[in-house]
Structure 1
Amino acid sequence: MARFVGVRWWNQFILAFICFLLIIACSNHGSNLTAKQTLKVAIQPTFAPFQFMKNGQLQGFDIDIVKGIGKSVGFQVEFENLRFEGMLGALQAGTVDAAVAAMSITKERLNTVSFSNPYFRSGLAITVRDNNQNITNFDSLRNKRIAVLLGTTGANEAKKVPGATIITLESTDQAFLDLINGNVDAVINDVPVILYALKTGSLRGIKIAGELLTQEYYGIPVRKNSPNLNLINKGLDTIIKDGTYAQIYKKWFNTKPPQLPKTAPV
């Protein structure tokens, strides 16, 4: 009888322990990051003012935004340098958890990844040399030499220009340098990048030609059905409501931020 009671007690102990493990597993299943966990974020720090290196330090609007989101909801951020055109593949492969790279939310990209709510409103602009009077709009780019960045919406827009020679580069600095040196006739790039360069005086002898070609919104891409998406959106909402977003925006663009939609019109 004593042996039977001992066996029954042992079986009950094992059953209780298994139940305890199941409770822990269920509570963690599908959960988002916690304060002790890390979000691995892909970047390419060659795109001022969004992300760039200065005096050996990583900085920029995108960097401040992701750090602000992490701080507001309690996760650490680990940045990993990747080429822009390889970021979506890295997300699908699971080698990174998210990417922040001034990436426009487009229908094509939404087929392969999910995006956070928009965190920036932008648009494409044509940049030419100061003395260029011939290029004033999209139509006047016909048969011209146009510099673009690899894998960007600017590159896609340039493909629509009849007869254009498209020079694809990996660096914004190189694109503007080719323009200043006369190697290309125009650069199609995101307007905030151009305005920042003109504001800081790092570029001279160029100007924006005509009106913006497009209006677009940047988002933070993650894998399809990623449990981190809700947490990122929650953090973004928090920093917008508490004024952190406006402070970061003013720091880099010296003005108030525009109203952002919950979803991007694509």
Structure 2
Amino acid sequence: MFKSKKLFTFMFLLILSVFALAACGGSDEESGGDSSSSSSEGESTLETIKANDKIVWGVKNDTKLFGLKNPSTGEIEGFDVDIAKAVTEIILGDASKVEFKEVTSKTRIPMLNNGEIDAIVATMTITEERKQEVDFSDVYFEAGQSLLVEKGSDIQSIDDITADTKVIAVKGSTSAINIREKAPDAQVLEFENYAEAFTALKAGQGDTLTTDNAILYGMASEDSNFELVGDIFTDEPYGIAMKKGSDDFVQAVNDALAELKENGKYDEIYNKWINF
């Protein structure tokens, strides 16, 4: 009886040891798998793009000079669009291997992070806050915030904005944040996109519209009754945004931008659209 009891105990402990070893082995294998997945997650971005043989770009459809839908052709045209095509040509060997999807200041990061687009080239300012959500390329366009007013307006600079001034801005833009810092007493009215914002200004719903000077020049070129006033009051460097951890894709885009600046293609695109 005693021997049987010892034998039973021995067998029980042996079985426990087997299960323990199996569990440890499984844990190591699982851990190793996770580690491999984590390290390859950023590296797979460019490979995925090359496998799909196209880059899906998020661009503005309402921003003259940078991204605007041509009503005659239905095509999106502008500086950002041409930069996207040029970068695509370097990365994939063919400028036509692009797909453009419309984004706004509010939708662009969510669309990037849910996989609808591969990159954002849409007058997007590089900020420390946004760096927590996305990875940015090197600066591809230097811009600064300014004011657009109807000609003859009493507002001639940021110093003329008071508590009675209605300032129009776009939802989700750094411009809306900046104007509240630079003119804290102003009444800020936010609209969904630049087309709605400019329409509101022309309708007299506000006294001035604020955003990057590059965008405002586009608006002024549409209607000669409006002009930019004062100096720029912020530094707004534009970057191409990609999903967090896309190190290989970021490097490829930076290399492409450097090549465009070196071979003169960047200046060609710049002079084509930013002729002010």
TM bucket by the smaller chain? 0.7 to 0.9
Tell me the residue number matched to 1:130. 151
- For 2:135, the aligned partner's letter is S
Q: Cα deviations across residues 20-78 of structure 1 (Å, max 9, x unaligned)?
A: xxxxxx9xx63544386222222231111100111212111100001001112226222
Of 195, 208, 212, which aligns to 1:190?
Answer: 212
* TM alignment of 1:1-266, pairs within 5 A: 30=44, 32=47, 33-34=49-50, 37-54=53-70, 55=72, 56-74=74-92, 76-133=97-154, 135-143=155-163, 144-160=165-181, 161-198=183-220, 200=221, 202-226=222-246, 227-254=248-275
Check the 8 A contact 2:55/2:98 in 1, yes or no: yes
- For 2:119, the aligned partner's letter is A
Check the 8 A contact 1:148/1:188 in 2, yes or no: yes
Check the 8 A contact 2:137/2:250 in 1, yes or no: yes
Q: Secondary structure at the match of 1:188?
A: strand
Q: Cα deviations across residues 197-247 of structure 1 (Å, max 9, x unaligned)?
A: 33x4x1122222211111221011001111311111111111111111111
For structure 1, which segment, 153-162 or 29-38, has the greater mean C-alpha deviation from structure 2 after superposition? Answer: 29-38
Segments of 5+ residues of structure 1 without an aligned counterpart are 1-25, 256-266
Check the 8 A contact 1:43/1:84 in 2, yes or no: no
Deviation at 1:177, TM superposition (A): 2.9
Q: Secondary structure at the match of 2:228?
A: strand
Give structure 1 regions of 4+ aligned residues with deviation exceeding 4 angstroms: none
Segments of 5+ residues of structure 2 without an aligned counterpart are 1-39
Kindly name which structure, 1 or 2, has the bigger radius of gyration based on alpha carbons: 2
Q: 1:149 to 1:136 in 2, by over 3 A?
A: same
Q: Secondary structure at the match of 1:116?
A: strand
Q: 1:40 to 1:104 in 2, by over 3 A?
A: same
Structure-1-length-normalised TM-score: 0.78
How many Å separate the matches in 1 of 2:76 and 2:117?
18
Tell me the residue number matched to 1:8. none
Q: Cα deviations across residues 102-159 of structure 1 (Å, max 9, x unaligned)?
A: 10000110111110111101010011221212x2332321211010011111111122
Check the 8 A contact 1:73/1:234 in 2, yes or no: no
Structure-2-length-normalised TM-score: 0.75
Q: 1:166 to 1:215 in 2, by over 3 A?
A: same
- For 2:179, the aligned partner's letter is A
Aligned length: 225
Q: Cα deviations across residues 165-187 of structure 1 (Å, max 9, x unaligned)?
A: 21111232332232233220111
Check the 8 A contact 1:180/1:205 in 2, yes or no: no
Percent identity, please.
Answer: 27
Tell me the residue number matched to 1:18. none
Check the 8 A contact 2:105/2:193 in 1, yes or no: no
How many Å separate the matches in 2 of 1:212 and 1:84?
20
For structure 1, which segment, 67-76 or 101-110, has the greater mean C-alpha deviation from structure 2 after superposition? Answer: 67-76
Q: Whose helix fraction is larger, Structure 1's or Structure 2's?
A: 2
How many Å separate the matches in 2 of 1:223 and 1:66?
16
